[in-house]
Structure 1
């Protein structure tokens, strides 16, 4: 994948920009790298330009570009200005939720629509932060190297460990119901994951006042998501003035696979195609 590095006033930002048509800004979630694709790359075949900006600490984007969502929102505006992009439709995934919200609240004239896909609308819980800091702080390279080695030799064990944090279902039942394609999706997601310094930065993110969001919002969430509980959807719905929540019939945080995956894709396109 061809990437661009932009030297902004706060440091280096990595991004890719391809396709033609209205611009969709994609903000990936925690642990996601430039190689991680949860189906969104196909938007370029649906008549959109896809601008993917790596968040602080991920890929080559420096932490200095925004230790808070509001700071990085300002940096995103620098990227948009550099590319002469007036407005964007924004997709925020999982841990990128606070960044999408900050962009919409602080720069309402640049955000046409905001799509929150299993995205955080609340600060991290203290217990989660402690555990995540231990795993993905200084030891993150060792943790991911070990996980990826185990993924090659004993994938079922790795999948069990991962899914336990993503679903409220019994893990064995969840894995048993995976299709081969869905299983491949999860393995590819893991194989392309790396926390860098990004995830520990994510853990301290605050959330802007969602009552200030002027753009239409669509939130897509699963009731069986353990990592981003459905309360995030309820808070988004009760706070953002113009908000629709689509309850995804998915068995985990991974709303992009499973029996409702096609409907998620349809809802996404329907929302993004509105002017």
Structure 2
């Protein structure tokens, strides 16, 4: 399905809305474009309708639609209202964590559940913020253009360079251990990535007060993640008693690949199905 552009009160937002069934709102992570798929597209085949909204600065979504997670939460509600969607389950990936949290915090009546996949719930580490501003600020487009060109010629070099930022393990050793399918995943992720104005804006996002979150939350994190530290999972669990943290035995930030990828898929799907059922039962009671 081709992307749709919606004129909101703050500017244009790009989204795709496809499938049949209960609605899942997908907020992709940093550098992810409309073409980047970290396995979530397959949820359509599990009986869900997937609403994928490009975050501010990514694809054709105006940066002014949400320079802060709180502002973007308001924009997301405009989209839900436009599509006549009363409530959604939300998946927030990596740098989209603050946006997913803000939506669940300010509009809990519109969020049935929230899944945080290797997602930030704390401010960015200073070292990542400094490096991110330098590489993906005004020069971001040129950096990604160069990386994609180099990827075609020296894919192993680019993949190893990327893995160095995403794992606490030896990136060269990790690259050699990747299956052909996982190598394809990493290659396509890099080939479809770009920053636009989005990532530099992501770096300034501040997450909300987790202790006041009321919606059901599942967090999936890896201890060997070199990008989103496992302290995010610990903080999530300590401040939200009703949350669930699933420790993914992955070797990097990329919890969607490796021999444990099926377990991540199953955990996500079980959580979605559980809260789809709970929402349906609640609606039945309210209609009586």
**What corresponds to 2:90 in structure 1?**
90
Q: Is the 8 A contact 1:214 1:241 kept in 2?
A: no
Is 2:187 aligned against 1:187?
A: yes
Report the Cα offset of residue 249 of structure 1. 1.1
Counterpart of 2:119 in 1: which secondary structure? Answer: coil
Query: How far apart, CA to CA, are the structure 2 residues paired with 1:168 and 1:29?
Result: 20
**What corresponds to 2:240 in structure 1?**
240
Q: Is the 8 A contact 1:111 1:215 kept in 2?
A: yes
Moved over 4 A (4+): none
Q: Is the 8 A contact 1:58 1:197 kept in 2?
A: yes
Counterpart of 1:165 in 2: which secondary structure? Answer: helix
**What corresponds to 2:112 in structure 1?**
112
**What corresponds to 1:173 in structure 2?**
173
Report the Cα offset of residue 127 of structure 1. 2.1
Report the Cα offset of residue 97 of structure 1. 0.2
Counterpart of 1:267 in 2: which secondary structure? Answer: helix
Q: Is the 8 A contact 1:219 1:233 kept in 2?
A: yes
Counterpart of 2:166 in 1: which secondary structure? Answer: coil
**What corresponds to 2:47 in structure 1?**
47
Structure 2 runs not aligned, ≥5 long: 279-288
Query: How far apart, CA to CA, are the structure 2 residues paired with 1:176 and 1:11?
Result: 45
Counterpart of 1:129 in 2: which secondary structure? Answer: helix
**What corresponds to 1:230 in structure 2?**
230
**What corresponds to 2:285 in structure 1?**
none
Report the Cα offset of residue 125 of structure 1. 1.6
Query: How far apart, CA to CA, are the structure 2 residues paired with 1:8 and 1:137?
Result: 26
TM-score by length of 2: 0.94
Query: How far apart, CA to CA, are the structure 1 residues paired with 2:149 and 2:203?
Result: 26
Report the Cα offset of residue 176 of structure 1. 1.2
**What corresponds to 1:204 in structure 2?**
204
Report the Cα offset of residue 241 of structure 1. 3.4
Report the Cα offset of residue 126 of structure 1. 1.9
**What corresponds to 2:11 in structure 1?**
11
Query: How far apart, CA to CA, are the structure 2 residues paired with 1:241 and 1:58?
Result: 34
Query: How far apart, CA to CA, are the structure 1 residues paired with 2:142 and 2:101?
Result: 32
Report the Cα offset of residue 173 of structure 1. 1.3
Query: How far apart, CA to CA, are the structure 2 residues paired with 1:126 and 1:227?
Result: 12
Is 2:42 aligned against 1:37?
A: no
Query: How far apart, CA to CA, are the structure 2 residues paired with 1:88 and 1:172?
Result: 40
Q: Is the 8 A contact 1:91 1:117 kept in 2?
A: yes
**What corresponds to 1:255 in structure 2?**
255
**Greater mean alpha carbon deviation, residues 206-215 or residues 174-183:** 206-215
Query: How far apart, CA to CA, are the structure 2 residues paired with 1:129 and 1:49?
Result: 34
Is 2:164 aligned against 1:134?
A: no
TM-score by length of 1: 0.99
Q: Deviations over 1:140-187 (max 9, x none)?
A: 111111101110111111011100000000112101110000000000
**What corresponds to 2:58 in structure 1?**
58
**Greater mean alpha carbon deviation, residues 124-133 or residues 255-264:** 124-133
Query: How far apart, CA to CA, are the structure 2 residues paired with 1:178 and 1:127?
Result: 28
Query: How far apart, CA to CA, are the structure 1 residues paired with 2:234 and 2:65?
Result: 31
Query: How far apart, CA to CA, are the structure 1 residues paired with 2:234 and 2:248?
Result: 14
